[in-house]
Homo-oligomer: A and B are copies of this chain.
């Protein structure tokens, strides 16, 4: 049965399209502008079609966020592996993380601010966030005491996320970004 295969493929493509459009719309006009009606209109289907793919609007946001974690993992990986020296690599990871948050504020919001209930740390955590956190862990591996590696990663991640999310709300002086990063890196890592 090849028609069924085609059907399934088309369905999967449409699901990706929904996720794409949701992210684009959120990035362009904010998540408040992502209503089921507007989303449906842009994918050129009626509203109920969305609900044949996702159980709720939240599930759509969750799908966007999940893909975001995959993208973040890729970017952190690229940053980490492009410098031989540990310290350069660490700094590159930090910069990549903050660049990601700044470049795609709506995506970052879906991943970290909205209550999307993606499991984390536990065994049933999806691979994407696991991979993203894994990159942070890997970057720290050369400098941390092995037994405290994950703890170290959590602290580093907290500092990065705090910076990203306070900056997002314009509560840090933008012109001091570099000074903050330098201070943070030297303090946290020797």
> A118 to B163, alpha carbons, bound, how many Å?
17
- A59 near B: Cβ within 8 Å? no
Distance (whole angstroms) from the CB of A89 to the closest CB of chain B: 18
Instruction: Decide yes or no: A179 and B151 within 8 Å by CB, A121-B171, A171-B121 being known contacts.
Output: yes
Asked if B158 contacts A162 (CB within 8 A), the reply is yes
- A112 near B: Cβ within 8 Å? yes
Contact among B162, B173, B180 with A165 in the assembled complex (CB-CB below 8 Å): B162
Residues of chain B within 8 A (CB-CB) of A162 are 157-163, 165
- A113 near B: Cβ within 8 Å? yes
Residues of chain B within 8 A (CB-CB) of A150 are 173, 176
Residues of chain B within 8 A (CB-CB) of A120 are 169-171
Residues of chain B within 8 A (CB-CB) of A166 are 112, 154, 157-158, 161
Taking chain A's interface residues, is the majority helix, strand, or loop, or is none over half, making it mixed?
helix
Residue of B nearest to A129 (CB): B171
> A148 to B186, alpha carbons, bound, how many Å?
14
Residues of chain B within 8 A (CB-CB) of A28 are none
Residue of B nearest to A158 (CB): B162
Q: Which are the 10 A-B pairs with shortest beta-carbon distances? A: A162-B162, A158-B162, A161-B162, A120-B171, A158-B163, A159-B159, A151-B179, A155-B184, A187-B188, A154-B172
Interface residues of A (CB under 8 A from B): 112-113, 115, 120-121, 148, 150-152, 154-155, 157-163, 165-166, 169-173, 176, 179-180, 183-184, 187-188
List 23 A-B pairs, Cβ < 8 Å. Answer: A112-B166, A112-B169, A120-B170, A120-B171, A121-B173, A151-B180, A151-B183, A154-B172, A154-B173, A154-B176, A155-B180, A155-B187, A157-B162, A158-B159, A158-B162, A158-B163, A159-B159, A159-B162, A160-B162, A161-B166, A162-B163, A165-B165, A187-B188
